[in-house]
A and B are shown apart, each in its own frame.
Chain A
């Protein structure tokens, strides 16, 4: 039995990035001094796309295709909350690249990709799963940058991931502008998750309890030899221009009249 089990497990490890972000239903306000947005006091959560990435990794583990799932998150002490969510979803252990609030606020995708590349050197995963973008900076860069730094192939905007029989190639269906595309990439690779890859599970209380016993290793950027100072300065952060709306019409006839004679759209 143990022989057949070890044969069916194809990958030793998947590393999954988990960013702590302001909850997607909240709308952060701009700071009065225009230096950023106010995130203090707002509920935070795991970045929804990273949650999808984690779900996919855990599903592969449950299917017996990978031995271990390792979560990694960068940030201040508070990200351990996010890490606990990842562990409760099914990650086996976690790495916390710790830094202070000010460093985290100025942390940019290139620095994150560099930190992750060093974690990859240490952990030698077969795959790295990340969300396609974080919903705070909306950058959509980290996975591609990590793949570039490692010179690994990348499969962005994944909506379907399938491991081939020997675990050497993954087939990925990607969401592209005009529809869907299928590519094969060799392992090791970086995959970024799009919305429809899966539906993340709810974490259950027993799993939250179990997660408390799982190990979180703490590292500093300096331990990894990475300079995380920002390469882009924020000049100002402002409210978007307010759109003057709220004009109502009484019925379809008035709407048609306005579209034809006021907007001149028809």
Chain B
């Protein structure tokens, strides 16, 4: 195999999910090139050279990559593919990768595999369907195999051990006038990042109203946890959409996941079932979520959370 991994970055650092994608690519065997399309992203290039398994860094340097627009990035990926003819093109299953890779696949007339969770061979991969209710093993017949990688299913590659030399410049600037980045409102919090935090506290409908999320925020602060939510809680406007865990939200796999007032819909389960330890607190003893809990506690979250906070705080 000779793979290309498309890195997502902010011109300074590589985003974590791309390092998980790198590990998936290393399981394909063979050389690994990475594409850094960015605007003066020299520090990203330096990190990428050192990343485990990387044999070549391809650098497309242009302000056209600001805003991570797929119309621009697809030009760079297609140009890299035309130049090097990779057997695999791999990206993170982040909103960036999910937007970009199918566009690239169509341009190259190749099918695509979304959110792979395992590599079985050069052409055979595993992914889930129906919100994780079934696991499909699939075999690609295309000459170039294009995929996004579920971050929680692969360890992050370390930024050491890479053998790449100076970056190879890619002769494409990604200019286009079809789309334009205007602004971003990133949710600000001092809590750890939900996607990568080792501990996650999650709230659902049982919290009854948005202001009660403060209870979870306070508890999370005491135990260094990220805070997530169910679709019901997000739909009710109790918290922003980037906190949603599940089939259509984020997929997480922390060491410890603690759910409060979450019934455990299959769509939610799809986003957290790979957590190492699952704690479920619900006052309804019949809540289906208890079936997957390592530790289930029937109780009123409004009493349990403050007590847990007192007894677990550092």
Binding site for B on A (CB under 8 A): 22, 24, 27-28, 30, 37, 49, 108-110, 113, 132-133, 135-149, 152-157, 159, 171, 174-186, 189, 194-196, 230-240, 243, 245-253, 255-256, 258-259, 263, 265-266
Contacts and interface: CB of A to CB of B under 8 A. Distances in A.
B224 to A, nearest CB: 10
Contacts, number: 258
Interface in B86-119: 94-96, 98-107, 109-115
Interface stretch (B50-58, B167-175, B304-312): B304-312
B136 A141 contact: no
17 contacts: A113-B106, A136-B129, A138-B114, A141-B105, A146-B106, A153-B179, A156-B70, A183-B67, A183-B69, A194-B241, A238-B134, A240-B133, A246-B293, A255-B295, A259-B256, A259-B295, A263-B294
B139 A183 contact: no
Contacts of A180: 184-185, 241-242
B178 to A, nearest CB: 4
B177 interface: yes
A154 B294 CA distance: 43
B267 interface: yes
Given A109-B102, A138-B247, A245-B278, A184 B114 contact: no
Nearest to A138: B129
A141 B293 CA distance: 33
B257 to A, nearest CB: 10
Contacts of B185: 179-181
Contacts of B162: none
Contacts of A156: 70, 95, 98-99
Contacts of B105: 110, 141, 145, 148
Contacts of A146: 106
B211 interface: no
Contacts of A183: 67, 69, 179-182
A234 to B, nearest CB: 6
B103 A144 contact: yes
Contacts of B307: 252
A249 to B, nearest CB: 5
A243 B178 CA distance: 47
Contacts of B218: none
A128 B23 CA distance: 36
Contacts of B247: 135, 138
A179 B183 CA distance: 11
B56 to A, nearest CB: 25
B139 A141 contact: no
A230 B139 CA distance: 11
A24 B246 CA distance: 13
A248 to B, nearest CB: 5
Given A144-B99, A238-B135, A177 B179 contact: no
B134 A148 contact: no
Given A175-B241, A240-B128, A245 B291 contact: yes
Given A235-B137, A247-B294, A266-B312, A181 B106 contact: no
**Residue of A149, A177, A236, A246 with highest tally of chain B CB at under 10 A:** A177
Contacts of A237: 129, 134-137
Interface string B177-196: 11111111111000000010
B113 A145 contact: no
Contacts of B186: 178-179
Given A136-B130, A245-B293, A171 B311 contact: no
B155 interface: no
A120 B104 CA distance: 20
B134 A240 contact: yes
B297 interface: yes
Contacts of B102: 109, 140-145, 148
A37 B104 contact: no
Contacts of B98: 140, 144, 156
B138 A184 contact: no
A231 B106 CA distance: 12
Given A140-B102, A144-B106, A176 B95 contact: yes
Contacts of B184: 176, 178-182
A106 B112 CA distance: 14
Contacts of B235: 195-196
Nearest to A231: B111
A147 B179 CA distance: 12
Given A27-B133, A232-B140, A186 B99 contact: no
Given A140-B98, A195-B241, A247-B294, A240 B132 contact: yes
